[in-house]
Structure 1
Amino acid sequence: MSYNTENIRNIALAGHAGAGKTTLFEALLHAGGVIQTQGSVERGTTQSDTDEQEKTRGHSIDTAIAAVPFGKSHINLIDTAGYADFRGPTLSAFAAVETVAIVVNAANGIEYGTRRIMERAAERRLARVLVVNKIDMEGAPLGALVDALRDEFGTQCLPVNLPADGGRQVLDCFFHGEGTTDFSSLADAHQRILDQVVEINETVMGHYLDSGEGELNPQELHDAFEQCLREGHLVPICFVSARTGAGVREFLELADRLLPNPAEGNPPPFLNGDGEEITVNADPLQHVIADVFKIVNDPFVGKLGVFRVWQGTVRRDTQLYIDESKKPFKVGHLFRLRGKTHEEIDQAIPGDIAAVAKVEEIHFDAVLHDSHDEDRIHLAPVRFPQPMFGLALEPKHKGQEQKLSQAIGRLAEEDPCFRVEHHKELNETVVRGLSDLHLKIMLERMKDRYSVEVNTHPPRIAYRETIAGRAEGHHRHKKQTGGAGQFGEVFLRVEPLDRGAGFEFVDAVKGGVIPGQFLPAIEKGIRQALEAGAIAGYPIQDVRVTVYDGKYHPVDSKEVAFISAGKKAFLDAVGKARPIVLEPIVDVEVAIPEASVGDVTGGLAGKRARIMGTDSLRGGEIVIKAQAPLAELTDYPTELKAMTGGRGRYSLDLSHYEPVPPPVQKQLAEAWKPHVDDD
């Protein structure tokens, strides 16, 4: 290995679907000499879209990783999916990079996904670069697009190069200020970006002014540029045509000369076991700390854990621990990835992206370390959208229940926005994802990879129960069966907590009227009731329970008696505390043609939705923002397709829970037939 941490650049290619990220990924690999022939999305020959579903559909579903040597740099590129349906793996990649290159379609301009990715990258304090692709398209309004990007994202967005000769070449305007471009003076662009860069650092500004606003030395430029990126004071705009190669080498030169290395980027927050933020150093001689940001279940090499090294050096044949596990695993094989190709390497230094195979215990977001001084450290979690779409599954063929469970478990390991729920009371397995398309793709993968076919039906909506008032409950559990009996008596109080607070158990027993060893049994009984529900069969949340009195018998009192007494005293109190059913309210964003606005807003209003606002995008597209009950959106994919001629798309994210209307609560309560244990 001929590079060190200062030479590494970690860059995620992200953006709206159709912007050309995968083609750019190919062009960058080709320009860096990694591949001899540039692959094609249309022919299904790219290094990143290797899954059969990706080839068939012509777009990325998962992330792909490859390293490009260029100049003095070792550039780790991560190609990500553009569709919001597959946002989980995309956001996971943000935990492994210093820079996000947001790819923009020159013809379509700022699209829905452009905004979302810019917001998420800024939220993670990552350096951002806007890469305008397809500059060779005839009539692409490049000058107007630069103005739009600055209007939308701020005046810190400035070109560092400009297209010339109809998009057939790109001229640098950061280091040089001479030449003729398609829409702007190169000298003016050169001056604007220099002024923006030097004002971030007083020392650099002084040198710049002392030289009569002349040129700075390369190191001063790099340091000031990198500081601008780290502080969000500059978002460079680069122009490329991934199809023709125009601007591709210029982008690699930008990465090599100016983008932050792992020691320069904003480090993500690492937390210790007490939740306190700690510093992790990109020092190859320190203890190892690495974060697993991707899991791949490969049919040839087994389970693959892909990780970013933050501190220390991971070497082949050494031992690592996973999280707080006391049992280490041996790094038998250490890989560098290039799409589906795995190159074996001897070590991975700070900033590197590498993978280990055949470690069953490894999981997404695991911290790998080589010292128990680090076994409670974890990376602050990425904020993922909540998977709100659900399908209940059952195997199409009898006897495949275990195979189904294993298959969906493997898929859930790979995508943090694909969740699996098992509802014991209904004997129902439910999978949840970000959209109907997301779930469809995952079930097709399950069939292709694991030969498991399923029947599906809509699951129950994830309602919750809570209380609106305070009340007291009591139950005496007494059984006599001829020998030793059962006895336990509990008095408790319930009161509502703030929405989202969960459950709180308070021991206020005085004088030993209930011995301390029975308090866990009372709490266990209460938690059983919380899970099973009280009025409509849905989990109860946002409740404080205070146990303040009771009785016991020195011979007959047992844990089982206090479990039952706690459960029924709690149900007694809940019934008096104005119980209510809560429904999930989701943030809905619908992108539609302008002509469909009336139909779509009217349709949402009929679903008890609240319209929160609208945004206009280029090309006559409108984004409607609303909040609506999830229960009302069961058939929305079909309805939206009909209203917009198939041109509408939407996303959901959980906002909050709020009470259902009284008629809905009555209907839910009547439909629930609770099972009461015999005393």
Structure 2
Amino acid sequence: MSYNTENIRNVALAGHAGTGKTTLFEALLQAGGAIQIAGSVERGTTQSDTDPQEKARGHSIDSCIAGIDRNACHINLIDTAGYTDFRGGTLAAFAAVETVAVVVNASNGIEHGTRRMMERARERGLARLLVVNKIDTDGANLPALLSSLREEFGNECLPVNLPGEHAGKVLDCFFHRDGATDFSSLAEAHQQILDQVVEINETTMGAYLDAGEEALTSEQLHDAFEQCLREGHLVPICFVSARSGAGVNELLDIFDRLLPNPAEANPPPFRNAEHLQIEVDPNPNAHAIADVFKVVNDPFVGKLSVFRVWQGTVRRESQLFIDDNRKAFKVGHLFRLNGKSHLEMEQAIPGDIAAVAKVDDIHFDAVLHDSHDEDSIHLDPLHFPQPMFGLALVPKHKGQEQKLSQALCRLAEEDPCFRVEHHKELNETVIRGLSDLHLKIMLERMNDRYGVEVITHPPRIAYRETISSSAEGHHRHKKQTGGAGQFGEVFLRVDPLERGAGFEFVDAVKGGVIPGQFIPAIEKGVRQAMESGAVAGYPLQDLRVTVYDGKYHPVDSKEVAFVSAGKKAFLDAVSKARPIVLEPIVDVEVAIPEPSVGDVTGGLASKRARIMGTDAKRDGELVIKAQAPLAELTDYPTELKAMTGGRGRYSLDLSHYEPVPPPVQRQLSEAWKPKLDED
């Protein structure tokens, strides 16, 4: 099918786990003619969940892309994982679309994942839909849910269709108004959304006031509608049943008739080397710019890099550059992803989603372009949750160290929330993810794909150090061993900064008492000391170092002398600045059966947790929200399983760092002293 940028729609299905996103994905593909028969999650036959782990668990782990060609419109549809354990890939997909369709379970109503996805899409400036699925489920109270959605997300949330009698049919209340519903008149719903749409556009409003609705063309309605979506003035609510097919064709109509195309959506936040925002032009004749939002190490085609084209045209056999690297690679094969299939394509125009294979230098979030003169350009990074769960590991069999390293590198390429750390001082490799399940999946993949088995144990907690007052430090480094010696003297001051501020280095030297070429050496020494720690061996953060005086020798002063002087002057100042150890505090959400609430809250309280509140859900489940030190949650998966009979689950997000209690700081400092003395 031939199409242009104005005919493309890019939509991500997101939302809480269990809302039926994958089943809806299948139903949309079938209704759009992309597949003959919709697959089943239960039977493991879907286009989306192709990984053996996804089939075994019955839910998505990775995002999946497929295309629908309908009414001269090409829809790129992305199915994303609902479990918070795998939301890295979900959020990454937001960099490739104009619209996020947040799917809501009609029975369960608004869940944590609903709020999270709505907020992230809003932050990114994306158009949003609320898709209420499973409307034919027994006990679903659709009028109450509609009220809850408007109360939670604002009066800009309005239905564009409504369930008919017994939810067996969905009735359009934007284009057509035929029939009645169980809980609202179509005329009233139609008037509400029409008023919301026309008021944002003066031309459309004028035509409407002068001659009524009949004077509005479909083009005027589309332009006003997509402007409302783009500016967050309207969040349409759509009702569907993916199982029965009710509302699925109507949802496709909304996709191709009302959603913004790539030329209409809010401009993506690209920036140049000076971090100034630049506009990309969805012109197929401009030079090409594309952003990589997904990397897959496919066992059959090799490394597959999936990208969204923002400007220009990427053609097969053309040459592209990666970021600001001047070395080009040839696009030997250009693929369109269609669920399980990789289809060859000749070119990808602005708005297209495509992939290239076997280019090892491409990385997640890389910018691909075809201009020799292109300055460094990047898309504003998405905010990903910081992985807080950790496991230290070693290969189970000797001689697999190199194989382990390569496997971890490939897994980290695919998931922006999976990280690999190498701690030289402990000779320890640590993997970090969003949950124990996240890490379990990664270890299973490492074994299945690469044949690497590992032994794991808890890693060190990511403590940090900082200072709580200002102080000055001084050190004179003088070394004479015959011939040219070493000399450098440094005076500096340290000041505490706000939590999360990081590190500042200030050169306040006057009169050339320390030549400018030695200032970087002082900073290097300071950074070395910060990395090694001053109280308990953990990196320092949230402080400012100001170098204001010193001395040098015209013959003996060398870079190495000022590295040493800067390092020891810094440690001298920190020792006087009331140093403290900081521990990571995490936001904890625990979903449990109601009878377990006493045991779980008591258990959290024993771990120095602060209970922030609870939310009741259907079927007698409660969600407890708390903040707790990460160090206290090392064995929490096992404890929660025991307290809830295996029915509890939880998630963590880094909240902030705060000082550890004095007994804990003494314990950490005493454990570090023997190693410090040994060094």
The two structures have a TM-score, normalised by structure 1, of 0.96
**2-side partners of 1:187 and 1:329: how far apart?**
57
Give, in angstroms, the shift of residue 35 of structure 1.
1.3
Q: Does 1:461 align with 2:461?
A: yes
Identity %: 81
Structure 1 partner of 2:113? 113
Which deviates the most, 650-659 or 83-92?
650-659
Structure 2 partner of 1:631? 631
Q: Counterpart of 1:103 in 2: which secondary structure?
A: strand
Structure 1 partner of 2:597? 597
Query: Residues 110 and 617 of structure 1 are in contact (CA less than 8 Å); yes or no, is this contact kept in structure 2?
Result: no
Corresponding letter in the other structure for 2:396 = K
Give, in angstroms, the shift of residue 506 of structure 1.
2.5
Structure 2 partner of 1:157? 157
Structure 2 partner of 1:408? 408
**2-side partners of 1:106 and 1:629: how far apart?**
36
Q: Counterpart of 1:607 in 2: which secondary structure?
A: coil
Query: Residues 302 and 358 of structure 1 are in contact (CA less than 8 Å); yes or no, is this contact kept in structure 2?
Result: yes
Q: Counterpart of 2:167 in 1: which secondary structure?
A: coil
Query: Residues 207 and 215 of structure 2 are in contact (CA less than 8 Å); yes or no, is this contact kept in structure 1?
Result: no
The superposition leaves residues 328-378 of structure 1 with CA deviations (integer Å, 9 ceiling, x where unpaired) of: 111111110012311111111111111111111111111111224433221
Which deviates the most, 128-137 or 335-344?
128-137
Aligned pairs for 1:421-570 (under 5 A) are 421-570=421-570
Gaps of 5+ in 2: none
**2-side partners of 1:67 and 1:309: how far apart?**
15
Give, in angstroms, the shift of residue 495 of structure 1.
2.0
Query: Residues 171 and 177 of structure 2 are in contact (CA less than 8 Å); yes or no, is this contact kept in structure 1?
Result: no
Q: Counterpart of 1:148 in 2: which secondary structure?
A: helix
Structure 2 partner of 1:305? 305
Give, in angstroms, the shift of residue 438 of structure 1.
0.6
Structure 2 partner of 1:668? 668
The superposition leaves residues 586-624 of structure 1 with CA deviations (integer Å, 9 ceiling, x where unpaired) of: 222233344443333332222222233333444444333
**1-side partners of 2:209 and 2:241: how far apart?**
36
Query: Residues 7 and 261 of structure 1 are in contact (CA less than 8 Å); yes or no, is this contact kept in structure 2?
Result: yes
**1-side partners of 2:196 and 2:618: how far apart?**
28
Query: Residues 112 and 591 of structure 1 are in contact (CA less than 8 Å); yes or no, is this contact kept in structure 2?
Result: no
Corresponding letter in the other structure for 1:433 = G
Structure 2 partner of 1:94? 94
Aligned pairs for 1:119-268 (under 5 A) are 119-214=119-214, 216-268=216-268
Equivalent residues, number: 679
Query: Residues 226 and 260 of structure 2 are in contact (CA less than 8 Å); yes or no, is this contact kept in structure 1?
Result: yes
**2-side partners of 1:116 and 1:391: how far apart?**
27
**2-side partners of 1:116 and 1:467: how far apart?**
35
Query: Residues 177 and 189 of structure 1 are in contact (CA less than 8 Å); yes or no, is this contact kept in structure 2?
Result: no
Which deviates the most, 490-499 or 612-621?
612-621
Which deviates the most, 405-414 or 110-119?
110-119
**2-side partners of 1:215 and 1:251: how far apart?**
25
**2-side partners of 1:213 and 1:564: how far apart?**
78
Give, in angstroms, the shift of residue 270 of structure 1.
1.5
**2-side partners of 1:488 and 1:441: how far apart?**
52
**2-side partners of 1:223 and 1:511: how far apart?**
64
Query: Residues 487 and 556 of structure 2 are in contact (CA less than 8 Å); yes or no, is this contact kept in structure 1?
Result: yes
Query: Residues 369 and 375 of structure 1 are in contact (CA less than 8 Å); yes or no, is this contact kept in structure 2?
Result: no
Change (3 A) 1:189 1:619: farther
Corresponding letter in the other structure for 1:491 = F
Which deviates the most, 156-165 or 398-407?
156-165
Q: Counterpart of 1:672 in 2: which secondary structure?
A: helix
**1-side partners of 2:322 and 2:212: how far apart?**
56
**2-side partners of 1:214 and 1:508: how far apart?**
71
Corresponding letter in the other structure for 1:309 = V
Q: Counterpart of 2:274 in 1: which secondary structure?
A: coil
Structure 1 partner of 2:287? 287
Which deviates the most, 613-622 or 95-104?
613-622
Give, in angstroms, the shift of residue 676 of structure 1.
5.7
**1-side partners of 2:439 and 2:201: how far apart?**
49
The superposition leaves residues 139-192 of structure 1 with CA deviations (integer Å, 9 ceiling, x where unpaired) of: 322222222222222222222122224233222221111113343322332222
Give, in angstroms, the shift of residue 21 of structure 1.
0.7
Give, in angstroms, the shift of residue 136 of structure 1.
2.6
Q: Counterpart of 2:294 in 1: which secondary structure?
A: strand
**2-side partners of 1:614 and 1:452: how far apart?**
42
Q: Counterpart of 2:162 in 1: which secondary structure?
A: strand
Q: Counterpart of 1:200 in 2: which secondary structure?
A: coil
Query: Residues 473 and 572 of structure 1 are in contact (CA less than 8 Å); yes or no, is this contact kept in structure 2?
Result: yes
Give, in angstroms, the shift of residue 97 of structure 1.
0.5
Query: Residues 586 and 656 of structure 1 are in contact (CA less than 8 Å); yes or no, is this contact kept in structure 2?
Result: yes
**2-side partners of 1:208 and 1:357: how far apart?**
52
Corresponding letter in the other structure for 1:334 = L
**1-side partners of 2:45 and 2:601: how far apart?**
42
Q: Counterpart of 1:534 in 2: which secondary structure?
A: coil
**1-side partners of 2:397 and 2:384: how far apart?**
34
Which deviates the most, 369-378 or 57-66?
369-378
**2-side partners of 1:670 and 1:87: how far apart?**
39
The superposition leaves residues 285-323 of structure 1 with CA deviations (integer Å, 9 ceiling, x where unpaired) of: 112111111011111111111111111111111111111
**2-side partners of 1:490 and 1:229: how far apart?**
58
Query: Residues 71 and 253 of structure 1 are in contact (CA less than 8 Å); yes or no, is this contact kept in structure 2?
Result: no
Change (3 A) 1:323 1:85: same
Query: Residues 108 and 617 of structure 2 are in contact (CA less than 8 Å); yes or no, is this contact kept in structure 1?
Result: no
Cα RMSD (Å): 2.0
Which deviates the most, 419-428 or 208-217?
208-217
**2-side partners of 1:190 and 1:331: how far apart?**
49
The superposition leaves residues 7-28 of structure 1 with CA deviations (integer Å, 9 ceiling, x where unpaired) of: 0000001111111111111111
Corresponding letter in the other structure for 1:233 = H
Corresponding letter in the other structure for 2:136 = D
Give, in angstroms, the shift of residue 482 of structure 1.
4.2
